[in-house]
Structure 1
Amino acid sequence: MNRVVPVLLSALLLAIAISNPAYAGKYDAQFRQFLNSEIIPAARKAGVSKATLDRELAGLTPDTSLPGLVGPGGKGAPPKVNFQAEFRSPSRYFRDSQFNALVPGGRSLMKKHAATLDRIEARYGVPRRIILAIWARESGYGNAKIPHDALRVLATQAFMGQRAKFFQGELIAALQILQKGDVSRRAMKSSWGGAMGQPQFLPSSYLKYAVDFDGDGKRNIWTSQVDTMASIANYLAKHGWAKGRDWGYEIHLPNTVSCTREGPDNRQKISSFVNEGVKRVSGRPFPDHEINKPGNILLPAGRYGPAFIATENFYVLK
């Protein structure tokens, strides 16, 4: 109990120091030096023009309100709290009400974009329900608030985040995006961790996987539903999604099949599992096109929780 007072006092003193204009000015100067010495030379080598750098970096300051920051250069003790929703509060993130609330919107969008989804499936081989499910969880079909200035977030993380070196590369990728003109700085919004737009792509992923599927000449994952869906499908396809296969099937696992056989290192033909007594919970047989393809046992909650036969597509999603 005696430790509470000094800890609270030190926190208050730190808050006062951070809000002090002189402190902020000193911090901003250090940040500007970082941009000039580290980011600008690397960005120029990556093909970002001086005009782009002058325009986008002018007046840029760090956002010290972001969670999880340490010290300049990524030095300092990392925070003990994981701020991502799925880790901070997994019971809330995965509760049924969260999923159920997203179902009507998904069905509506699936109907609205039926013809477009036909084309996306034909090109990338990813089922529409998978595309819609990822879109739902990443941003609620674009309805989630994504309020941050992506460039400022990335610059701050590159300067004083836990993974400063990683975010330096992402910052340069963001500058490349702005130079290409697919999005304006004003519209380039991200989460506090730098994930952008409706599919929550980091800038490097945007450069590799974002798609202009609506044909307007811009890869717009911020306001274009069509580009968002196609970009998600392209991402999965490029990461090895096996066309025509599902991600997995819920099963009844017989007691005669050991739980030690779980995992991708123990893959075998699904027909072999069937011969050992594995059956689908639905009561339906495994599809003919799947039966002679490999799968593995998946027990996400242990032996007494739900059991699945997972295909390689599960690990693409993972």
Structure 2
Amino acid sequence: MLPPDLLPPEFVQCIDGLRAQALSAGVDAAVFDRHVRHLTPDFTVLPLLDKQPEFSTPIWDYLSGLVDQERVDDGKAMLSTHAQTLSRVAAQYGVDAPSVVAVWGVESNFGRNFGKRPLLVSLTTLSCMGRRQAFFRGELISALQIVQSGDVEAQALVGSWAGAFGHTQFMPSTFQRIAVDGDGDGRRDLVASVPDALASTANFLKVAGWRSGEPWGYEVRLPEAGAGTVSGRTERLPLSNWTSQGIVRADGGAITLPPSTPAALLLPAGRQGPAFLVFRNFDAIYSYNAAESYALAIALLSDRLRGGTGLRTPWPTPDPGLSRSERRELQVLLLARGHAIGEADGMIGTLSRQAIQQEQLRLGLQPVDGRAGQQILRALRDGAPAATPPATSPATSAKVPIALPAIAPVVPPPPMPESGRK
């Protein structure tokens, strides 16, 4: 913390206004002064308000890292470890265990990745600077109310730059509305209590309109022509409309829902890729974070946790995406060729993409786009290491262009929080 005389005057003035607003919302003056009054703003969160991805993400890349065998195996282990809690949660909220665990896996990798930013610092900064200050002020006040209630201690409120925290990444205002005490200790703690997090997630889906015993949807097969001219989550038609066009389940199973059930057709990669009929429970998942690709990741992971074998229709690409273990392997191969990309952590960032571009140039691969796919992985597996590191070191220079071409279809970045969980 900086002393008040070293803080930007406009920030100090904003803090005064926040204090009055927080007190009027029931936050004790002592709580505000202790945790916010003299906070040093974190200016690094401001660019994230308008951050654009460095390159567009194909849907097959997005899903390959979120629904990989590693996450499936971990999820099945969590189903076993927390079977008693999940059974109780399913009975109370009507949401099946694989769906709840799939949210947990996508949101925080089963508690491994909470985020690293102190929420009160981020939210205070965003309450005083940048766009959407009113939204973040509401989240800051909710966070202070959580601390004041004793549910979660201030130092444990660590998460994303925008304020999501805990095992299943609730925003503070969503926590206030929906979080529940799943372990019976009198507190709602989504950070230290897995039962609280699992029960709260099930409660979120229930409030969002989850229908117990119904599927989120199915992968389907389209007829050769005719169907698929209308698609998108909001283009709902009676199920009978779709089946009458010749749409059937890709696995050959029966669609047992009533013919009047509202359903929508998703074609995330066009008619040549996997197609899905989705129902009300898909919308409930979508409300957790408003992006169809995100909801599809959770839906497909939940199917794998039920014992499903994955998609029947391949993605329409000659260069499929990489699982997280394959991404780590790719980075190990890049490191062995002298590229200073840091740790082989499976996170394909700027340095890894620059190194991939240089290897694509060296190996004569097209396009030279810095994308981590099966093509570059196979080439590096099969090829001998470069005799010397590339002339342009990605650690010190960026002479290789980073303007990467879009590959359709692309996945937009998750939307900014509006309401609900994020």
Report if TM-score (shorter chain) is over 0.5. Answer: yes
How far residue 58 of structure 1 moved from its aligned partner, in angstroms, is 3.9
1:137 to 106, 110, 125: 106
Q: Secondary structure at the match of 2:218?
A: strand
How far residue 100 of structure 1 moved from its aligned partner, in angstroms, is 2.1
* Unaligned segments of structure 1, at least 5 residues: 1-20, 70-77
Equivalent AA in structure 2 for residue 305 of structure 1: G
TM-score w.r.t. structure 1 length?
A: 0.81
How far residue 145 of structure 1 moved from its aligned partner, in angstroms, is 4.6
User: Which residue number in structure 2 is paired with residue 163 of structure 1?
Assistant: 132
Distance in 2 (CA, whole Å) between partners of 1:97 and 1:205 is 24
User: Which residue number in structure 2 is paired with residue 81 of structure 1?
Assistant: 52
Distance in 1 (CA, whole Å) between partners of 2:65 and 2:50 is 30
The C-alpha deviation readout for 1:254-309, integer Å capped at 9, x for no partner, is 1343322323555344344334322111111123x455533222212112211111
User: Which residue number in structure 2 is paired with residue 64 of structure 1?
Assistant: 43
Does 2:25 align with 1:25?
no
Distance in 2 (CA, whole Å) between partners of 1:171 and 1:87 is 32
Does 2:267 align with 1:299?
yes
Does 2:223 align with 1:254?
yes
Q: Secondary structure at the match of 2:276?
A: strand
Distance in 2 (CA, whole Å) between partners of 1:87 and 1:194 is 25
Does 2:154 align with 1:185?
yes
Q: Secondary structure at the match of 2:215?
A: coil
User: Which residue number in structure 1 is paired with residue 15 of structure 2?
Assistant: 35
Structure-to-structure mapping, 1:71-220, within 5 angstroms: 79=50, 81-82=52-53, 92-96=61-65, 99-220=68-189
Equivalent AA in structure 1 for residue 82 of structure 2: H
The C-alpha deviation readout for 1:94-153, integer Å capped at 9, x for no partner, is 325763221111101101111221111122121211111111111001011522211111
Does 2:200 align with 1:231?
yes
Contact 1:245-1:290 at 8 Å conserved across structures = no
User: Which residue number in structure 2 is paired with residue 12 of structure 1?
Assistant: none
Distance in 2 (CA, whole Å) between partners of 1:64 and 1:243 is 44
User: Which residue number in structure 1 is paired with residue 243 of structure 2?
Assistant: 274
Note closer, same or farther for the CA distance 1:272–1:66 as it changes in structure 2 (3 Å cut). Answer: closer
Distance in 1 (CA, whole Å) between partners of 2:247 and 2:93 is 31
Contact 2:265-2:275 at 8 Å conserved across structures = yes
Note closer, same or farther for the CA distance 1:223–1:290 as it changes in structure 2 (3 Å cut). Answer: farther
User: Which residue number in structure 2 is paired with residue 3 of structure 1?
Assistant: none
TM-score w.r.t. structure 2 length?
A: 0.62
How far residue 155 of structure 1 moved from its aligned partner, in angstroms, is 0.4
Note closer, same or farther for the CA distance 1:134–1:296 as it changes in structure 2 (3 Å cut). Answer: same
Larger mean CA deviation between 90-99 and 218-227 belongs to 90-99
Larger mean CA deviation between 262-271 and 46-55 belongs to 262-271
The size of the alignment, in residue pairs, is 284
Percent identical residues: 37
Q: Superposition RMSD on alpha carbons, in Å?
A: 2.6
User: Which residue number in structure 2 is paired with residue 55 of structure 1?
Assistant: 34
Contact 2:227-2:247 at 8 Å conserved across structures = no
Contact 2:114-2:167 at 8 Å conserved across structures = no
Equivalent AA in structure 1 for residue 194 of structure 2: Q
Contact 1:67-1:192 at 8 Å conserved across structures = no
Equivalent AA in structure 1 for residue 245 of structure 2: E
Q: Secondary structure at the match of 2:203?
A: helix
Contact 1:48-1:179 at 8 Å conserved across structures = yes
Of structures 1 and 2, the one scoring higher in RCO (CA 8 A, sep 6+) is 2
* Unaligned segments of structure 2, at least 5 residues: 287-422
Distance in 2 (CA, whole Å) between partners of 1:268 and 1:64 is 47
How far residue 163 of structure 1 moved from its aligned partner, in angstroms, is 2.2
Contact 1:81-1:88 at 8 Å conserved across structures = no
